[in-house]
A and B are shown apart, each in its own frame.
Chain A
Amino acid sequence: MTDPLLEVRNLRVAYPSAHGYSDALRGISFTLGREKLGIVGESGSGKSTAGRAIMRLLPPKARVTADALRLSGFDLLGASERQMRDIRGGRIAMILQDPRYALNPLKTVGAQIMESYRIHIKGSRAEARDRMLAMLEDVRIRDPQRVTGLYPHELSGGMGQRVMIAMMLIPSPKLVIADEPTSALDVTVRGQILDVLNERVEAQGAGLILISHDLPLVSDFCDRVLVMYGGQIMEELAAHDLSQASHPYTIALNASLPPLDHAVDELIVPEYDPTWLTEATE
């Protein structure tokens, strides 16, 4: 049997807090092949923490343990910081949740995307520039010539997200972790951007983890979905079964969506049940 692309077993993360450490991930396990895995869940449930743990991008004070955290058999937890620098942006790329904040504020968008290309792929400057412009067009940036010269704070929210996607896809990573990559985009552009993401991932035989709070989106786009709550995985489903989810949290999520065709006075806010957390612990 070959190693899966990514193996995560019993991953735990705790952050330092006022009274000792507090748990953000309480032992999550999953494997990923060349497929699209969605992670959904409440705000604060640990989705970004999981992504950043795989990238080894958590703050140094965070306590991280796992029985296994491996990329194609390679031990990510035991890797040196030097090894991780090679892996990040090369074999694994993460599209971060706050793009305009995550980008370098002092460099133009064009320079940053070209740099990302040239660190991992040998080629001339002219070649990198052509690829960069083509990539910006792929992510539906109007007027790429103007946008390459902008600094991150001069981008609109949705432009920032697409620039980040362009920058992360350009070195052809084997695993893409996309953290809310399209949350600032309307449904029409979002569909186009996800198509681009899909094409790239499939053409390169890569795996994708799509972190999102948007259930319909994830159920459309992904093969499998993990539903998280309070640092744990509540259930795992085939994506197209998401509307038939059995866990009360997932059902509650479907109920609080504002309807489009008629008005309601107040939206339904789900009541959380503390037993959801205790029942999942062994």
Chain B
Amino acid sequence: MTTPSLEIVSLSVAFGHGRASVQAVDKASFRVARGEAFGIIGESGSGKSTILRAITGLHDGYDGDVLINGNPAPRPRNRDFFKTVQMVFQDPYSSLHPRRMIRATLMEPLEIYRLDRREARIAQVLLDVGLAPEFAYRYPHQLSGGQRQRVAVARALLLEPEILLLDEPTSALDVSVQAGVLNVLNALRRARGLSYVMVSHDLRVVAHMCSRIAVMTQGRIVEELTVEDLRAQRATQPYTRTLIAASRAAVTAD
């Protein structure tokens, strides 16, 4: 078997002490091949974001392994790592500097990594996420919720990373804008062989984007499904079954 682009092996993350402690992620493992999109769904608070944050090195106290192209990710994470792996955070606010114009936020990674054609790249990513060029001259608080989320996606795309971690990247978007962003993500993955890990509470989005899907409850990955399983409602866990049934009901409601 070829080396996966990203692999986590028995990853565990705990927070707090004593009575207030919680095992946010409990021995989670999965592999993502090059060019593949892997989905994570699960209850609110089940540890989905924590897995992604541990991969990017934000929760450095994890146990287990994070392997990038077969090699352990450096601790702490370094520049090379972030050239390969980028993340779109669930809260766009947390990743955008409040007092920095969007243009400066987008320019910074291009300068750090000494990329050429900076203006053209910025114009292109903004276009990709459906934002007019003048949005580059705004501050984060001058954007709507969905516009901020799209800036966060644009920023992660700028460095053309091999691996993209996407935490609810379209949760604040209406379906029309979401469709455009998802199309761009899919086109980039196919054209450049990018690998994605995508967390979403929306089964339709996950099914459209991902070929395999992990299901989490209370810190554990309780099952892994193919997208065909998911569409055909072949799930074993009660949580997954309920979620699929409820999502189908939501489709046929109108």
Residues in chain A near residue B16, CB distance under 8 A: 146
Q: Chain B, 175-214, contact with A by CB distance < 8 Å: what is the 0/1 string?
A: 1111110110010000000000000011111011000000
Q: Which residue of A lies closest to B228 (CB)?
A: A263
Taking a contact as CB atoms closer than 8 A, the residue among B92, B179, B202 that contacts A256 in the complex is B179
Stretch from B41-49, B67-75, B158-166 that touches the partner = B41-49
Question: How many B residues touch the partner, as a band?
Answer: 35 or more
Give the contacts of A92-151 with B (CB-CB under 8 A): 97-98, 100-101, 142-143, 145-146, 149
Residue count of chain A within 8 Å CB distance of chain B: 60
A267 and B183 contacting across the interface, CB-CB below 8 Å: yes
Is there contact, CB below 8 Å, between A187 and B147? no
Which of B78-86, B113-121, B239-247 participates in binding chain A? B239-247
Q: Say whether A186 faces chain B, with CB atoms less than 8 Å apart.
A: yes
- Closest Cβ neighbor of B187 among chain A residues: A266
Stretch at the interface among A82-90, A195-203, A212-220: A212-220
Is the C-beta of B142 less than 8 angstroms from some C-beta in chain A? yes
Interface residues of A in 168-198 (CB under 8 A from B): 179-180, 183-189, 191
Encoded as 1 (CB less than 8 Å from any B CB) or 0, chain A from 53 to 86 comes to 0000001000000000000000000000000000
A27 interface residue per 8 A CB criterion: no
Interface check A280, CB cutoff 8 A:
no
Q: Are A42 and B176 in contact (CB under 8 A)?
A: yes
Q: Is A242 an interface residue (CB 8 A)?
A: yes
Q: How far is the CB of A101 from chain B (nearest CB, A)?
A: 4
Interface pair B175/A257, CB less than 8 Å apart: yes
Q: Which residues of A contact B (CB under 8 A)?
A: 15, 18, 40-44, 48-49, 59, 97-98, 100-101, 142-143, 145-146, 149, 154, 156-159, 162, 179-180, 183-189, 191, 213, 215-217, 219-220, 242-243, 252-254, 256-264, 266-270
Further pairs besides A15-B142, A159-B44, A252-B176: 12, Cβ < 8 Å:
A43-B145, A43-B147, A49-B144, A145-B19, A149-B20, A158-B44, A186-B44, A213-B173, A215-B175, A242-B254, A258-B182, A269-B180
Residue numbers of B with Cβ under 8 A of A are 15-16, 19-20, 22, 41, 43-45, 48-49, 90-94, 134, 137, 141-142, 144-147, 150, 168, 171-180, 182-183, 186, 201-205, 207-208, 227, 231, 242-243, 246-251, 253-254
